[in-house]
Amino acid sequence: MVPGGPRTAAGTCSHPPALLPIAKKGPRKCKTNSAGLVAALAAARNGARRLLVERAGFAGGIITATGLPFFDGIADYHEKRVVTPGIPLELFAKMGACEPGATHLLSHNPTIDNTERFKLLADRLLRAEPNLDVLFHTIACEASVRGDRIEAVYLANKAGLCRVEPKVVVDCTGDADIAARAGAPVEKAPELQPMTMHFRIGNVRSTPDTRRLCREAVIRAHEGGELPMFYGPGLMFKFAPDEVYVHAVRVPADGSDPEELTRAEQQGRQDAWTMFEAWKREVPGFEDAYFITSGPFIGVRETRRIVGEYVLTEHDIVESRRFDDAVATGCWYLDQHPNAATVGTANAGQKVQPDPYDIPYRTLLPRSVSNSAGGRALPLGDAARRLVDARQRDGDGHGPGGRHGGGAGRAPRDHATRARRPAGPRRPQAAGRRSGAGSRRRRLTAGWNRGRWESRKPAVTWPHPTQRCRLGWP
Ligand SMILES: Cc1cc2nc3c(=O)[nH]c(=O)nc-3n(C[C@H](O)[C@H](O)[C@H](O)COP(=O)(O)OP(=O)(O)OC[C@H]3O[C@@H](n4cnc5c(N)ncnc54)[C@H](O)[C@@H]3O)c2cc1C
C-alpha cells in the first residue's frame, strides 16, 4: 500500500509521498545489479538520463550481493570466443582478468579475483557518468499505472517514501518486482530452484584429500539430520591460498515472498555454519580455520519472470535459433538446481551445452506495460531460465537500458524493430558436428526434463575433467 499520490495498483493514499528531488530532472530509471549496472552505464553513455536504485549499499548484483566471482558464459564453451563483448567484457577487463577488447578467453567460465574490488570498480564507473544519479539503500516497492504506462515508481529509503516519475522503467530487480506491481503478466515455475548462500573460510591448510573429506563430512551431517540439503560441496581456493570459497548451501524457498526470503537467509547462514563446524571438527587442515563471511545476501536463482512479447524456449536455445531482433548472445549450458541434495555436482541429471544462441529484444518487453523492460526475470522455457539472465548484460545500448531502450522519449517496445545487433559470426560447422547434430541434440534435450535422458550417452559428459578440478569438486 503506498500512501498518497495517484491511484496505485494497491489503492489510494493518505498523504502524497515526496516527489524525489532527483525526479525533477525527469530521469529514466533502472536498478543497479549485474544486469542493471550494465544497462544503466549503456544508457547514460548513450545520452539518456538515468536514476539507478539499489537496495544494497553497493552495485553489482549477484557478483557483490552474493559474492559470486564467476563470469560464466562470457565466452563460448568450445572455442572460448567472447560472446558478450561490450560492457560485460569491459568490466571483466577492468578487473584485470583479460586484455581490453579480447576476442577469446582462457575459459568459458572465468572468474574475477576480488568481488570487493568489483564494488569499487562499479562505483568508479557509475560516478564517471554525468547522466547518472545513483541511490543505494533504496527499495523500489510499488508502481502506479495510467493506461499501459508506469507513471510513477515508489521508493523506500531513509528519506521515507518517495515517488519518481520515470519515462521508462528498466526492472532489473531479478524478481520483476516493479513489472509485477505495475500489473504486467508474470509467472513462476511450478517448482522454483533453490537459493544458495555462498561463504568463505580462512586459514585452511589444503591437502590432496581436503575436498573428498569435506564432502564426506557434509554427507554425514546431512544423514545425521543436521543439514537439510546441500550440493557438491564446491570448494575453491579462489581468493587466497589458505581461504576456501564455498558454494554448497541449498535452501528451497520463494525469494519473492518476504517471509520465505527471511527464513531462507537464516537457514542458509545456519547451513553454512553447520558445514564449517563439521569441517573444523572432522577434516585435517581446518583445525585453525575461521569463518570469514557469508552472502551478504542469499542468492536467489529465480522467482517471478515476466511474460514477454516473446518467450525464449529450450528449443530456441538448443537449436541456436537466430532472431532478427537479437540484442544479446548466450552460450551457458542448460542447468537446473533441484530441491534435493546432490553429491559432487550442483545439477540434476546431465546437462546440455548449446552453441551460442540469440536473445531477442522482445523477451525483455513485458506484455501490457509499454514503458518497461526487464532484467533476469526473462520469459524463458523452464530449463532455459537461469542460463540467459546474465547474457542480457550484452550492453552497449542494444538492450532496454541502452540507447534503444527508451531513448528519445520513445517506449522500449517502439524500438523492437530497430533493436538489432549485427549477427555475430556463426561457429564454423565442424565436420559431423552439425550433421544430425540438431536432431541428436533435440533427442537429448527432449529426454532431459523427463529424466529419460539418463540412460542415453550424453554428447557432453559433465562436468568436464578440467572443470571438476577448477570448481574444487573431488
Ligand atoms: C547462488 C547463485 C549462483 C549462481 N551462479 C552463477 C554462476 O556461477 N554463473 C553465472 O553466470 N550465473 C550464476 N547465477 C545466475 C546469475 O548470477 C544471476 O541469475 C544473474 O546475476 C541475474 O542478474 P540480474 O542482474 O538480473 O539480477 P541480480 O544479479 O540478482 O541482481 C538483482 C539486484 O537488484 C537488487 N534489488 C532486488 N530487488 C530490488 C528492489 N525492489 N529495489 C531495489 N533493488 C533491488 C538486488 O539487491 C540486486 O543487486 C547464479 C545465481 C545464483 C542465485
The pLDDT of residue 302 is above 50: yes
DSSP assignment string, 138-165: -EEEEEEEETTEEEEEEEEETTEEEEE-
**Residue range 398-423: average pLDDT?**
52
* Nearest to 399, CA basis, from 424, 355, 365, 367: 365
Q: How far apart are CA 30 and CA 33, in angstroms?
A: 9
Distance 301 CA to ligand 1 centre (A): 7
Distance 283 CA to ligand 1 centre (A): 32
Classify residue 68 by its DSSP letter: -
The pLDDT of residue 9 is above 50: no
Dig out the grid coordinates for 399 from the structure.
538492450
DSSP assignment string, 227-256: -S-EEEEEEEEEEETTEEEEEEE-B---TT
Nearest CA to ligand 1 atom 16: 390
Query: What DSSP element (H or E) covers 270?
Result: helix 258-282
Burial of 241 (0-12, 13-18, 19+ CB in 10 A): exposed
Ligand 1 atom having least distance to the Cα of 138: 43
Query: What DSSP element (H or E) covers 359?
Result: strand 357-360
Average pLDDT, the chain: 80
Ligand 1 atom having least distance to the Cα of 59: 49
pLDDT for 17 equals 52
Cβ neighbours for 96, distance < 8 A, ≥ 6 positions apart:
113
Q: How many Cβ atoms are within 10 Å of 204's Cβ, its own excluded? A: 25
pLDDT for 416 equals 59
Q: How far apart are CA 196 and CA 269, in angstroms?
A: 10
Distance 300 CA to ligand 1 centre (A): 7
pLDDT for 12 equals 41
Distance 299 CA to ligand 1 centre (A): 7
Distance 298 CA to ligand 1 centre (A): 10
Cβ neighbours for 456, distance < 8 A, ≥ 6 positions apart:
443, 444, 447
pLDDT for 460 equals 34
**Residue range 270-294: average pLDDT?**
98
**Least confident window among 64-78, 207-221, 459-473:** 459-473
Nearest CA to ligand 1 atom 51: 301
Which residue do the cell numbers 527499495 mark? 139
In the sheet with 243-249, reading across from the earlier edge strand, the strands are: 290-294, 199-202, 243-249, 230-240, 342-343
**Residue range 360-373: average pLDDT?**
86
Ligand 1 atom having least distance to the Cα of 64: 49
Instruction: Tell me the backbone φ, ψ of residue 346, rounded to 5 degrees.
Output: -100, -20
Mean pLDDT highest for which of 42-51, 370-379, 460-469?
42-51
Dig out the grid coordinates for 134 from the structure.
545513483
- Give the residue, out of 64, 68, 473, with the most ligand 1 atoms within 8 A of its beta carbon, to mutate for a pocket test: 68
Cβ neighbours for 400, distance < 8 A, ≥ 6 positions apart:
39, 168, 170, 361, 364, 365, 373, 374, 406, 412
Q: Are 350 and 405 in contact (CB under 8 A)?
A: no
pLDDT for 333 equals 83
Burial of 465 (0-12, 13-18, 19+ CB in 10 A): exposed
| pLDDT tens for each residue of 99-113 | 999 999 999 989 999
pLDDT for 234 equals 94
* Nearest to 172, CA basis, from 358, 313, 310, 38: 38
Distance 386 CA to ligand 1 centre (A): 10
pLDDT for 378 equals 55
Distance 205 CA to ligand 1 centre (A): 32
Distance 173 CA to ligand 1 centre (A): 8
**Residue range 114-132: average pLDDT?**
96
Q: Who has greater pLDDT, 353 or 98?
A: 98
Looking at the chain, the whole-number percentage of residues with pLDDT higher than 90 is 59
**Residue range 453-469: average pLDDT?**
37
**CB within 6 Å of ligand 1 — which residues?**
31, 33-36, 53-56, 61-62, 65-66, 68, 70, 72-73, 139-140, 172-175, 177, 196, 299-301, 375-376, 386, 389-390
| pLDDT tens for each residue of 165-220 | 999 999 999 999 999 999 999 999 999 999 999 999 999 999 999 999 999 999 99
- Name the β-bridge partners of 70: 111
- Pairing state between β 326-330 and 357-360: antiparallel
384 pLDDT band, cuts 50/70/90, is: very low
- Give the residue, out of 29, 30, 32, 33, with the most ligand 1 atoms within 8 A of its beta carbon, to mutate for a pocket test: 33
The pLDDT of residue 347 is above 90: no
Task: Report helix, strand or coil for 403.
Answer: coil
Cβ neighbours for 443, distance < 8 A, ≥ 6 positions apart:
456
The pLDDT of residue 3 is above 80: no
**pTM for this model (two decimals):** 0.81
Burial of 191 (0-12, 13-18, 19+ CB in 10 A): exposed
Q: Which ranges of 67-150 does DSSP label H, i.e. alpha helix?
A: 87-94, 115-127
| pLDDT tens for each residue of 222-259 | 999 999 999 999 999 989 999 999 999 999 999 999 99
Nearest CA to ligand 1 atom 12: 72
**How many DSSP H helices and E strands does the chain contain?**
11, 18
Q: Are 398 and 416 in contact (CB under 8 A)?
A: no
Domains by residue range for the chain, with CATH: 9-188+303-332+357-414 (3.50.50.60), 199-294 (3.30.70)
Distance 266 CA to ligand 1 centre (A): 19
